[in-house]
Amino acid sequence: MTAPFAPRRLTIATRESALALWQAEHVRAQLAARYRGTTVELLGITTQGDRIVDRPLATIGGKGLFIKELENALREGRADLAVHSLKDVPMDVPEGFVLAAISAREDPRDAFVSNDHESIAALPAGSVVGTSSLRREAQLRERHPGVRIESLRGNVHTRLRKLDEGRYDAIILAAAGLKRLGLTTRIRALIDADESLPAPGQGALAIECRADRLDVQGALAPLADRGTTLATAAERAFSRALGGSCHTPLAAYAEWEEDRLWLRGLIASRSGDDVMRGEMESVVTNVAEARTLGAGLADQFLARGAHRLSVASA
């Protein structure tokens, strides 16, 4: 289905990391192929989250620091749309903006990367594992209490360089980013969702624009993937209802097939000593039903005492 029209020129706001530029170029190519009469350009922006790399995200304002400068470019008219990793987008999109399209998801799993070891299970006691994610940290501590977790910030190439310099025995990264950057050979093992449940939205791209730009929304609509849109709507609703943030080890992953959506969720203490898991399945045909499923699973968690974990982590 082709949108009735697209603006003659579209500018995409993007972070300037290699992965962010790949993502923006991926969307640019899709738009350019669909709308032959439209010129699509990129506007590179260095965000506060990119500038501050010596402190955990949770202590400097969370993942929203990767988004705000891009939204400013949309607000000021310097750009028409912005491309984000959906897992970096806060659960509540600011007033005046919309996520106009969620495109088809890449591999949502976490990846084990090491130069010397084949898997997490093969790590000797005391091995140093790098990750910036409290979600990954909690699940690692629960299943592999003998490893030592140390903070790891920076873009994908920076993290790989730190591993290669010997600062870590292994690091955990999103498989999607490595695959998109042509770094699949660095993956020693893909970690099954049963062992490391992904972050809400992991592997999916979100395309954001201003709520009043109906022309841009119309042009972006064909880029949306239905299954990914429904799955991530449930994941984000689950996270929102539990107050998920960079301070809370929280995971959610949904799979949609033949109008049925299967959602798994997790919330934990950072130590991994207290981990709550649950799942729910339902027929889902639209975003509202997906969000209802996510909120319903969160209600089950709250009835089981999940509030203690979100409060303790805040």
The residues that are catalytic are 88
Cα Rg, the chain, nearest whole Å: 19
Q: Is 123 exposed, middle or buried (0-12, 13-18, 19+ CB in 10 A)?
A: buried
**CB-based contact 237:295 (threshold 8 Å):** yes
Beta-sheet strands, E only, within 46-160: 81-85, 97-102, 110-113, 128-130, 148-150
Contact between 43 and 79 under an 8 Å Cβ cutoff? The reply is yes
Residue from 107, 142, 144 nearest 253 by CA: 107
E-strand ranges in 202-274 read: 205-210, 250-257, 260-268
Helices and strands (H and E) in the chain: how many: 11, 13
Please identify which residue in the block is written with the tokens 């579209």: 10
Full DSSP string of 265-312: EEEE-TTSSSEEEEEEEEE--SHHHHHHHHHHHHHHHHHTTTHHHHHH
Quick one: angle between helices 226-241 and 287-303, nearest 10?
Answer: 30
DSSP-based three-state secondary structure for 223: helix
AA letter at 225? D
d(CA 309, CA 87): 21
